[in-house]
Amino acid sequence: MSLIDVSGNLLFVAFIAYLIGTLVFGGAIKSTKPDGAVKRANNWGKLAIILTVIGFLAHLGYFITRWIYTGRAPVSNMFEFTTAFGMFIIAAFILIYYMYRITALGLIALPVALLIIGYAAMFPSEVDPLVPSLQSHWLTIHVITAAMGQSVLAISAVAGLLYLLKSIDPKKKTKSRFWLEAVLYFLVLVVGFILATVLFKGVMGYEANFTYVNKDGLEQEITYNMPAVFGMNENTLLTEGAMNPIVDMPPVIEAKKLTTVFWTIVIGTVLYALIRLIARRRIIEMLHPLVQKVNLNLLDEVGYRSVLIGFPVFTLGALVFAMIWAQEAWGRYWGWDPKEVWALITWLFYAAYLHLRLSKGWEGKKSAWLALIGFAIILFNLIVVNLVIAGLHSYA
């Protein structure tokens, strides 16, 4: 068995450990009213964190063995970066767990990591030669530091989601209930992306080849693994019997990836509708009973402290080190590339979060909503900016 196979097996072990850990965390936060239930819940909680640590060690083993095999840090494409991001989220959760001992955090943090790893698995995992701009130690420093900062910021969103799940009454028709359900709907869409890829590429083996004219005016060939709703600029279908694009996009838009987003929304929405139909209630109503034991003040502190830790780390990785790498790779510190713009937007948002928290006293629900919006911006940068908008960072 080669080292790359060992690496893949370790990632699979980590995924299974996180999955089982999620279920065990669920058992740890049940009601403690019956006699002896408190002790049983504590035992479940200890088992859950042990499983999480085992999964993290396997995940770290994947990262190290892949690094040894490739001779470079495994953060240079969407598969590698996203799996690393999931690993750092688990690391941040473990750190926060041992600081505050909030078992309920695991019920959200582990599924988020599972979704991110599942999302990563949809991208090619092959080891390919790097383009010249990626052959830099500053890239490694920039990406790893940025991912570490984002992972700690993700824990603030986890704490914020728990805070809102407890504090918002799922029975009352309010704007807060609507928007919280919208957040949960978005998480279902991530599952929809995984299902869409498995259905079209894995089960159906769908493939359609096109030629198109890129933004430099050169003709290239591209393969779609989902029916082409959106077509590349001036495209021509090469595969007989395949679906022609319904809409042709300008060369600055990644039409193939926009097609992926379209099918993600369609299948994710169908999945959400099925959940609602089977359960006959909103997802927020299903989760609300599971978070009744959490301490709101402690969750608020966890959310705030996570931003205090994650923000400076993100600043170093996504801005300072990124500018140094940009100068080395492209001969300029800043170029208004879409990825750079959204990194700046993310930084400005969290700067505003800290300002509103410290100067305006935005605590509790307001702080929780800001944490969720901030993580939504991070995910928008990870998913939409990488998949849809063409730029210098489009290595997926």
> What digits encode the pLDDT tens for the residues 31-42?
445 544 556 667
Domain count, the chain: 2
Provide the domain limits for residue 216: 176-281
- Tokens at 91, concatenated: 């690391």
| Same domain, yes or no: 292 and 277 | no
pLDDT band at 300 (very low <50, low <70, confident <90, very high): very high
| Same domain, yes or no: 157 and 139 | yes
pLDDT tens-digit series, residues 218-266? 888 888 888 988 888 888 888 888 888 888 888 767 788 788 888 989 9
pLDDT at 161 over 80: yes
Q: 211-215, 291-295, 351-355 — which one is most confidently predicted on average?
A: 351-355
Residue at 224 is within a domain:
yes
| Same domain, yes or no: 153 and 238 | no
| Same domain, yes or no: 275 and 241 | yes
| Same domain, yes or no: 261 and 122 | no
| Same domain, yes or no: 317 and 302 | yes
| Same domain, yes or no: 163 and 223 | no
Domain boundary among 281, 302, 325: 281
pLDDT (0 to 100) of residue 58? 96
In this structure, are strands 230-231 and 247-248 parallel, antiparallel, or unpaired?
parallel
| Same domain, yes or no: 260 and 325 | no
Residue at 205 is within a domain:
yes
pLDDT band at 396 (very low <50, low <70, confident <90, very high): very low
pLDDT (0 to 100) of residue 352? 95
Q: Of 44, 84, 42, 45, which is closest to residue 62 (Cα–Cα)?
A: 84
pLDDT band at 146 (very low <50, low <70, confident <90, very high): very high
Residue at 62 is within a domain:
no
Residue at 47 is within a domain:
no
Domain boundary among 225, 252, 281: 281
Rounded to a whole number, what is the distance in angstroms from the first to the last CA of the chain?
28
Domain boundary among 281, 300, 327: 281
Mean pLDDT of 151-162: 94
pLDDT (0 to 100) of residue 217? 80
Cβ atoms of residues 127 and 338 within 8 Å: no
